[in-house]
């Protein structure tokens, strides 16, 4: 490791290596890179092409099982080492904070009631939460699998300021790419060892000690297993609730593999509709699938309205929530991850009252867009200075946020009631970096920005004992700097790994 660490924005920018824009120099490495991805399970299912036909009129049935290499960066992208280590150390504090929020019925109610009926999806989840609270269903414990996402705020116009990791959002449901993220770190170590990145580097160096180890390949499965033990039935199963025609299957299969090979816990994959059709509960609230009791339901779906196209899907979720099965996340955790909660936490004194003052240094300005005086001022600011803001709804998964010049049109088209479903956030100014992205064997040189995610693992027993509270590895997603959104599954980004400087 270099003895010199980036203390200022100018140092961070100058310590970064410079990569070539000439992808032709790298083409001789592409086949080996793609083959490495295939042999290490760094894969996605191919996109479904409706109505695809052969020249003779037959259907292309093999497309249903076709696989493609996951989109990745050819080399790691720089992140300030001090900020990386800081947000890793903050994760247990955030885990505890959000568990406290999930147990604070008055806080959740007062915060989310202000959204009203402006967001039908969140209102439906909130209604289920209130009904479950009324029923007072006993669960053996709580499992939280989180991811706190950050951008590095390091504007070139402020060379003497320090680069700072600023929180974009805190995810409590379906935090994906933990498995593939770890494998991408291994891919970059392989490429460094084999090629030295000599054809890529124009200046600077990459050394192995700049590439941090990443436990996220195994940590999610181990956390689920620790929560599974609280249920008290070693013969039970885990249900992984997935989206129909899921493409990111292998990220999920690695979790399934860990559960079986390390913990001898079987996983059954179901959609919410299949939960409705195939799962039954007994008079004691225990849930079964094909005669096997379900100890844990791990959601890799359920974070967006599109996951609930009919009442059958909603009923599938409710069947799980009202049973003894431990859901990941439970309804309170799901709501705690709403953007409105994030905005309220940023208000003066809120995190301090929860004994989590350290997390404030990662916050940027967050404002309501409701009818309050603060909300009216935020609306006026967004209309007059849209370039410095982002407008966020209560959504996960990528593709929902509105930026810059698109903000006035969005806000003008919303009624005052509808605006309650959104928050306004200061735009984080992350510096661009020239990297090479690899999609389906093709190299693309691009100015990029990277978003760092730190996984958090939390297990609490029914009697309040904390079984697990730790970070669980990291994810780096990198996208072209002129693309605002950063979701890999949504097609905006590639999976990357951090180069610590």
Question: Would you call 339 a catalytic residue per the annotation?
Answer: yes
No. of helices (H) and no. of strands (E), the chain? 16, 23
Per-residue pLDDT at 128: 97
Per-residue pLDDT at 354: 84
* Active-site option among 16, 81, 164, 477: 477
Question: Would you call 175 a catalytic residue per the annotation?
Answer: no
Give the global pTM: 0.94
Question: Would you call 453 a catalytic residue per the annotation?
Answer: no
Q: How far apart are CA 457 and CA 125, in angstroms?
A: 23
Per-residue pLDDT at 491: 57
Per-residue pLDDT at 51: 54
* Active-site option among 81, 139, 147, 300: 147
pLDDT digits (tens, 9 = 90+) for 142-174: 999 999 999 999 999 999 999 999 999 999 999
Per-residue pLDDT at 481: 87
Q: How far apart are CA 383 and CA 388, in angstroms?
A: 11
Cβ atoms of 168 and 157 closer than 8 Å: no
Question: Would you call 169 a catalytic residue per the annotation?
Answer: yes
Q: How far apart are CA 335 and CA 329, in angstroms?
A: 9
Beta strands in 282-346 (DSSP E): 287-289, 292-299, 326-328
Question: Would you call 313 a catalytic residue per the annotation?
Answer: no
Per-residue pLDDT at 475: 98
* Active-site option among 392, 420, 460, 479: 392
* Active-site option among 11, 37, 83, 169: 169
Q: How far apart are CA 75 and CA 488, in angstroms?
A: 17
Cβ-count burial 356-391 (b if 16+ within 10 Å, e if not):
beebeebbbebbbbbeeeebeebbebbeeebeebbb
* Active-site option among 204, 371, 397, 399: 397
* Active-site option among 11, 256, 396, 451: 396
Answer whether the bond into residue 329 is a cis peptide, omega within 30°.
Answer: yes
* Active-site option among 300, 339, 395, 479: 339
What is the CB neighbour count within 10 angstroms for residue 49? 10
Q: CB-based contacts of 209: which residues, under 8 Å, 6+ apart?
A: 1
Per-residue pLDDT at 130: 97
* Active-site option among 9, 95, 148, 176: 176
Low-confidence ranges of the chain (pLDDT < 50): 1-2
* Active-site option among 77, 95, 148, 171: 171
What's the number of CA atoms in the CB half-sphere (13 Å) around residue 491? 4
Beta strands in 344-404 (DSSP E): 366-368, 389-393, 402-403
394: left (phi over 0), alpha (psi -120 to 50) or beta: beta
Per-residue pLDDT at 59: 58
Reduced to 3 states (helix: H, G, I; strand: E, B; else coil), residue 150 is strand
What's the number of CA atoms in the CB half-sphere (13 Å) around residue 436? 25
Q: How far apart are CA 198 and CA 499, in angstroms?
A: 16
Residue found by looking up tokens 């505890």 in the block: 96
User: Partners of 151 in the beta sheet?
Assistant: 166, 451
Which tokens belong to 214? 């990443």
Q: CB-based contacts of 204: which residues, under 8 Å, 6+ apart?
A: 15, 16, 17, 18
Question: Would you call 221 a catalytic residue per the annotation?
Answer: no
Question: Would you call 446 a catalytic residue per the annotation?
Answer: no
Per-residue pLDDT at 47: 84
Which tokens belong to 302? 């359920």
């Amino acid at each position: 490791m270099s003895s010199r660490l980036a203390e200022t924005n100018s140092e961070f920018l100058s310590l970064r290596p410079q990569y070539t824009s000439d992808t032709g120099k790298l083409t001789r490495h592409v086949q080996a890179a793609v083959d490495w991805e295939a042999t290490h399970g760094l894969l996605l299912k191919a996109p479904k092409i409706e109505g695809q036909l052969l020249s003779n009129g037959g259907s292309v049935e093999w497309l249903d099982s076709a696989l493609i290499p996951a989109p990745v960066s050819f080399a790691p992208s720089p992140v300030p080492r001090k900020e990386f280590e800081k947000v890793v150390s903050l994760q247990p504090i955030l885990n505890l904070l959000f568990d406290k929020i999930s147990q604070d019925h008055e806080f959740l109610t007062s915060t989310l009631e202000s959204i009203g009926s402006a967001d039908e999806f969140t209102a439906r989840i909130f209604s289920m939460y209130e009904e479950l609270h009324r029923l007072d269903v006993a669960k053996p414990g709580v499992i939280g699998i989180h991811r706190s996402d950050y951008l590095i705020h390091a504007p070139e116009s402020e060379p003497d300021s320090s680069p700072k990791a600023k929180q974009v959002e805190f995810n409590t449901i379906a935090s994906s790419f933990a498995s593939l993220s770890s494998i991408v770190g291994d891919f970059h170590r392989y490429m460094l060892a084999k090629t030295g990145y000599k054809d890529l580097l124009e200046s600077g160096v990459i050394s192995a000690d700049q590439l941090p180890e990443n436990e996220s390949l195994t940590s999610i499965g181990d956390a689920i297993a620790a929560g599974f033990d609280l249920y008290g039935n070693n013969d039970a199963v885990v249900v992984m609730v997935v989206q129909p025609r899921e493409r990111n299957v292998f990220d999920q299969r690695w979790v399934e593999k860990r559960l079986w090979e390390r913990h001898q816990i079987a996983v059954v994959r179901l959609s919410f509709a299949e939960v409705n059709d195939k799962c039954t509960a007994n008079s004691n609230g225990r849930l079964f699938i094909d005669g096997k009791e379900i100890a844990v339901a791990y959601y890799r779906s359920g974070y967006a309205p599109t996951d609930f196209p009919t009442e059958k899907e909603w009923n599938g979720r409710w069947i799980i929530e009202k049973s003894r099965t431990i859901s990941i996340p439970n309804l309170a955790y799901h709501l705690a991850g709403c953007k409105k909660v994030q905005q309220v936490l940023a208000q003066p004194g809120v995190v301090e009252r929860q004994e989590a003052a350290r997390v404030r240094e990662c916050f940027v300005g967050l404002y309501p867009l409701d009818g309050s005086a603060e909300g009216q001022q935020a609306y006026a600011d967004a209309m007059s200075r849209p370039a410095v803001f982002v407008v966020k709804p209560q959504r996960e998964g990528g593709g929902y946020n509105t930026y810059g010049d698109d903000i006035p049109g969005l806000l003008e088209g919303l009624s005052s009631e509808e605006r309650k479903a959104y928050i306004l956030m200061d735009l984080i100014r992350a510096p661009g970096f020239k990297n090479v992205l690899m999609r389906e064997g093709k190299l693309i040189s691009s100015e990029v920005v990277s978003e760092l995610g730190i996984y958090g693992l939390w297990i609490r027993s029914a009697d309040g004992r904390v079984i697990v509270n730790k970070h669980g590895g990291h994810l780096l997603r990198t996208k072209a700097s002129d693309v605002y959104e950063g979701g890999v599954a949504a097609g905006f980004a590639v999976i990357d790994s951090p180069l610590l400087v």
